Amino acid sequence: MMMFQWQANQPVTLRCIDKYAETEDSVSIKLAALSEAQPFDFKPGQFINLGVNINGKLEFRAYSISSVPHADYLQLTIKRVTQGRVSNFIVDTLAIGDEVKALPPTGDFNCIDHPPRPHSSGSKALLISAGCGITPVFAMAQYWLAHQPDIDIAFVHVARSPEATIYFDQLHTLAATTQQFQLHLLLKERGAAPCHQGRLNAEWLKKLVPDLLQRTAYLCGPQRFMQDVQRYLETLAFDMRDFHHESFTPRAPDCANVDSDSASSSSVTVNVAALGQQVETSAGQLLADVLEQAQLPIIIACRSGICGSCKCKVNHGKVTSTSQEPLTAQEIEQGYVLACSSSIDTDLDIDIG
Ligand code: FES
């Protein structure tokens, strides 16, 4: 069967073919090609930028894929978040049969580009997650179990309770049936579930995974959790060359370092020749805001300099960028910037996408 064909930098249309509750505040959705079943290729751990139509406006957000490559659907698990317009729309309103837009899978946090480093005791992985951060590491674990069963997996997940644990039953089934998958659920309130109870710290990590120094670590969760875990690993003298992490937690909206003085000082022009459009604005403005207000076809998904959906090529002119995270060295060399993380310094000539 032919692989699903993505369009570089252009959204494709997929259909929601299934939707079900994972916990009281999260759902999983399955997305498939419109016409016929087609397998999807991606690297476990990667994410897609998903676009949904909310009140006539297409809004994009980045979500990790939790299914495995070559299935004829993509599974995403989405949790309700305070003021999360897109996530809450998907949880509350998106229905089976609805169409959505999606950009190609992307992301450096994946287990193909960063496989576990072979150790004298074999290849061992340590997957650590909290909340919805479980989605990419769950995809990695499933991939290894299916394709590289020699990899020993320690799976540490932190949640509030059994009911609030995404994939609770699937995790326990895997742990019961698969020797190389060791599950360590650490819950704030475990109730009657056969899980650990407590708050994650360096001592817990060492206790749950005594051979963690022999493992390659993959971490995903809320930003604060990730900072804490990174600190615990450093405290335990973990070799941080074997540490990989991901987070979609948006940074502060001032991430583009807008200088309010310069914002009011000089007017500049942003020229998008390919679209025959010229926009007048002030120096210091965020490039993404300017393009969005002019209703130009820019896709802003994470607004945090992480997903790469807002990539633009600056042919002439200067911007000040606070993130280049998803851009390759070659793209940076070619003049690509992230519109969500770049304030305008001078007149610009740009290409979108
Ligand atoms: S919107 Fe994600 S990097 Fe700009």
Q: From ligand 1's centre to the CA of 34, what distance in Å?
A: 27
CATH number of 12-102: 2.40.30.10
Q: From ligand 1's centre to the CA of 302, what distance in Å?
A: 5
**pLDDT tens digits, residue range 41-80?**
999 999 998 999 999 888 888 899 999 999 999 999 999 9
| 130 Cβ below 6 A of ligand 1 | no
Q: Is the pLDDT of residue 254 over 50?
A: no
pLDDT band at 82 (very low <50, low <70, confident <90, very high): confident
Percent of the chain with pLDDT over 90: 75
Q: From ligand 1's centre to the CA of 340, what distance in Å?
A: 5
pLDDT band at 223 (very low <50, low <70, confident <90, very high): confident
Q: Is the pLDDT of residue 11 over 90?
A: no
Q: What is the mean pLDDT of residues 101-117?
A: 93
User: Do 118-246 and 254-352 come out as alike in CATH topology?
Assistant: no
Q: Is the pLDDT of residue 184 over 90?
A: yes
Q: Which fold has domain 254-352?
A: Ubiquitin-like (UB roll) (3.10.20)
Q: Residue 250: its pLDDT value, please?
A: 43
d(CA 53, CA 89): 9
**Nearest ligand 1 atom, CA 49:** 2
**Nearest ligand 1 atom, CA 302:** 2
Q: Are 28 and 82 in contact (CB under 8 A)?
A: no
Q: Residue 305: its pLDDT value, please?
A: 84
Q: What is the mean pLDDT of residues 118-140?
A: 93
Bridge partners of 14, per DSSP, are: 100
d(CA 353, CA 347): 19
Q: Is the pLDDT of residue 262 over 70?
A: no
| 307 Cβ below 6 A of ligand 1 | yes
| 338 Cβ below 6 A of ligand 1 | yes
| 306 Cβ below 6 A of ligand 1 | yes
Q: From ligand 1's centre to the CA of 288, what distance in Å?
A: 9
| 327 Cβ below 6 A of ligand 1 | no
pLDDT band at 303 (very low <50, low <70, confident <90, very high): confident
pLDDT band at 247 (very low <50, low <70, confident <90, very high): low
Q: Is the pLDDT of residue 306 over 60?
A: yes
Q: What is the mean pLDDT of residues 23-32?
A: 97
Q: What is the mean pLDDT of residues 253-267?
A: 42
Q: From ligand 1's centre to the CA of 305, what distance in Å?
A: 4
Q: Which fold has domain 118-246?
A: Rossmann fold (3.40.50)
Residue of 108, 302, 327, 336 to test ligand 1 pocket, by largest number of atoms within 8 Å of CB: 302
**Nearest ligand 1 atom, CA 301:** 1
**Nearest ligand 1 atom, CA 299:** 1
Torsion angle defined by CA atoms of residues 252, 186, 74 and 85, in that order, rounded to the nearest 10 degrees: -30
Neighbouring CB atoms inside 10 A of 332's CB total 12
Residue of 106, 248, 251, 310 to test ligand 1 pocket, by largest number of atoms within 8 Å of CB: 310
CA 120 to each of CA 123, 227, 234, 300: distance values in angstroms, whole numbers, following the listed order? 8, 29, 22, 45
Q: Is the pLDDT of residue 158 over 80?
A: yes
**Nearest ligand 1 atom, CA 307:** 2
Q: Residue 265: its pLDDT value, please?
A: 56
CB-based burial label for 136 (10 Å; 0-12, 13-18, 19+):
buried
Domain boundaries defined on the chain:
12-102, 118-246, 254-352
